[in-house]
Structure 1
């Protein structure tokens, strides 16, 4: 048994009937290498079963504390029913990219069952060109982007050679009610003992902000009231999903040519695309949007669970029409956001979240999710996560693409997540049913925004958009 960290628990408390807090990982798999051998749901269950011993979070079962006296705990070695957790699903004909994305949207529209380990996996069949896809739904309370990438690496054959698989593992007995209450009381005393160090960390951050020579810069003042937009409203429980793939080498080349990072390029591409949609749906794009960009503070390659990140608020320059000026503005905004985050302390929110009382936190998030209006913190989250640098295999079959996207949050009907894989920059967009009828509007706009940046920079547009998936 182990206690959920405060930040993990907050991600659990923030889930409501219309705000589902699972993340999605999608792998497209080419079956040609199997020489005609079958790879169906039973074969996938066999692969997962043989690796459960190194996929620890897949065996975690959530245990609530009586009277919500403390954050829940993970029972670390629970029974796993793979007939339930690993299922088959068939995409609509003709099985192209759009049909796959639509299937993912439907599967993403239902929350995970908290009475079981908080993950599901779907083998999606019916795809064109001899391919299948594997979709993983993993609750955000289990893992952040870095941990998910490490977990994905453990679940795939990233290295050739024999696998050290096991056929079984021991399960732990369920704790008694008395044990849960006693451990909760003991842990509360431990948290009280840590409070002085949390207060010191906070005071140090406040002093750094006060002493910073940049503290009077207008752009360092975080605009905690983002502008109202078509994407900001009470979201519904429907999820729609869309993907696109860009050339990672071309994104790197463009960033190097302009003197900015890949993350700056992702922000600039997103800003250009969102500008197009704002003009289409709101008729105006005259104020920067406020994006929450997750930044990890634990990059350990061995970490496969937990959330060690903070959301850096970045002013997204959707109000700038010129593509190159937009790139420079995105770079400057990212620098300012990171600077502000470092000054106040990247672990500030994470450390204080340990003291959030469960029942009031859940009530607050229920109220926020049912409030029809503007998200008061941000317009949308935008993530950029480095994925595997080597080609992966599942059961011997080659993984040709990997996509990932985080959840929607209360009052924000869009999420943009970029996940790199070998030579690809893979874009995923998640929307609710009210925000976009077809989220490919946004992925198409992102591809067009990248083409516009390269054209403005005098770089050739060839091969900018890579359609590695099945035909539309």
Structure 2
């Protein structure tokens, strides 16, 4: 059975290139001293080291079959690329050991993560890596998974970090995995198969050849068709985001930093000012971006805003309560999103919170600010000789739609890695072309954990954002009713 990349996965695959690498990841901080004495995976409990992690990953790969497959492109782009078993799969190539120099500080860890996320993946192998990072202060260990975005494009496609963790220290029992790679298809058979598929839909084939997706097409017709499709699919493009240094030509060099705040206090703020839990988190981000704006220029005008894109599910009635049901994921998921403005020009934290809440409510229900599921400019048939061009055209169309993407995870209950408690989980957000900053927000345990990934050449002071986040949160926590009556004084 032919297993083609979906249209969306193909878009992410072709978006890779100089200045951008469509990677996402998860950073888990593990208490290596908290392991159970045994586990259901027949892996030594109570010891998280490189051999035991490799053994665990080998057993859990059956839960994420794409992690043993490579992407094979079809000649002349006559079909979307295929997922093909890697006949030379070597788990030890993908699972790697690293260590921090003493004293193993958070700053040293963040610098290492930035360098690891700056490196492109080998496209001749399965598109992922995992790092066991030893030497953290306090006897802790970090595990970083680094995956290409096309690996986790659909709701059924889990990230490896989710596959290797468990709800309980005892783990789970899995049948022995006797995986054998299928024989890789020849390029000739891939081409013939793509043509045969196309022949069943001849109108699409002719349209692709003559109007912009075939090997004899004019590139400019592709650009024109792309522009019309995007204008139809994403209405907010007519309302450009504010000018910002955060929308600029980017490099592949990264900076990374993290911060966390107490979830219980976020709930208190939401109750005090009669808004949602997620309104509070957006307002905290607004305070961060306000402080960053003031750090790079002399002043910020009163009406100045930064436009962000947020998953629409962050506005669902059953989310944002400050409670974690444990059923969620910490990796980005496909789905509709909306753009909203954060009033960074407002100096009062309470007024800023009220404005954030009002704008988010208004825009999440507005078709002009709502995206459908973001699909690439590739027909379902999959004829993509200019796939890379089309994907980049799609990305460029979104350049002015928003300034900063915010990746919003579901609430997640306590997780264990080989019997050891995971203390913190940070999503490493995707940083695509023309974006110099991306932010992720996770609810995990008793805290809300934020991660910031930035272009090293643009946001040179990214480590300061951790301090900005704590300051922004503290001013909301301590704020009284400045011209506004809180619900619970």
TM bucket by the smaller chain?
Answer: 0.7 to 0.9
Q: CA deviation at 1:364?
A: 5.4
Q: Within 5 A, what are the aligned runs for 1:33-432?
A: 33-34=34-35, 38-75=47-84, 79-144=88-153, 152-159=161-168, 160=170, 162-188=172-198, 224-286=239-301, 287-295=304-312, 308-341=334-367, 346-347=372-373, 349-350=374-375, 353-354=378-379, 358-363=384-389, 375-389=399-413, 391-432=414-455
Distance of aligned partners of 1:444 and 1:262 in 2 relative to their CA distance in 1, 3 Å threshold: same
Under a length normalisation based on structure 1, what TM-score does the superposition of the two structures give?
0.81
Query: Do 2:364 and 2:370's aligned partners in 1 also have CA atoms closer than 8 Å?
Result: no
Query: Do 1:87 and 1:122's aligned partners in 2 also have CA atoms closer than 8 Å?
Result: yes
Distance 1:368 1:315 in 2: 22
Q: CA RMSD in A?
A: 3.6
**1:445 pairs with 2:445:** no
Distance 1:302 1:67 in 2: 40
Distance 2:290 2:86 in 1: 47
Query: Do 2:57 and 2:164's aligned partners in 1 also have CA atoms closer than 8 Å?
Result: yes
Distance 2:199 2:273 in 1: 53
Query: Do 2:34 and 2:421's aligned partners in 1 also have CA atoms closer than 8 Å?
Result: yes
Q: CA deviation at 1:252?
A: 2.5
Distance 2:386 2:89 in 1: 32
Distance 2:80 2:264 in 1: 44
Distance 2:329 2:270 in 1: 30
Of 176-185 and 354-363, more deviation after overlay is shown by 354-363
Distance 1:189 1:343 in 2: 39
Residue 30 (structure 2) aligns with: 29
Q: CA deviation at 1:146?
A: 6.1
Distance of aligned partners of 1:254 and 1:188 in 2 relative to their CA distance in 1, 3 Å threshold: farther
**1:2 pairs with 2:3:** yes
Query: Do 1:415 and 1:430's aligned partners in 2 also have CA atoms closer than 8 Å?
Result: yes
Residue 463 (structure 1) aligns with: none
Distance 2:160 2:141 in 1: 21
Distance 2:330 2:190 in 1: 25
Post-superposition CA distance 1:311-361 (Å, at most 9, x none): 4221222122211221122222222332134997723x4386545863434
Query: Do 1:229 and 1:278's aligned partners in 2 also have CA atoms closer than 8 Å?
Result: no
Q: CA deviation at 1:95?
A: 0.7
Residue 213 (structure 2) aligns with: none
Q: CA deviation at 1:145?
A: 9.3
Distance of aligned partners of 1:97 and 1:163 in 2 relative to their CA distance in 1, 3 Å threshold: same
Task: Give 3-state SS (helix, strand or coil) of 2:242's partner.
Answer: coil
Task: Give 3-state SS (helix, strand or coil) of 1:263's partner.
Answer: helix
Distance 1:285 1:101 in 2: 29
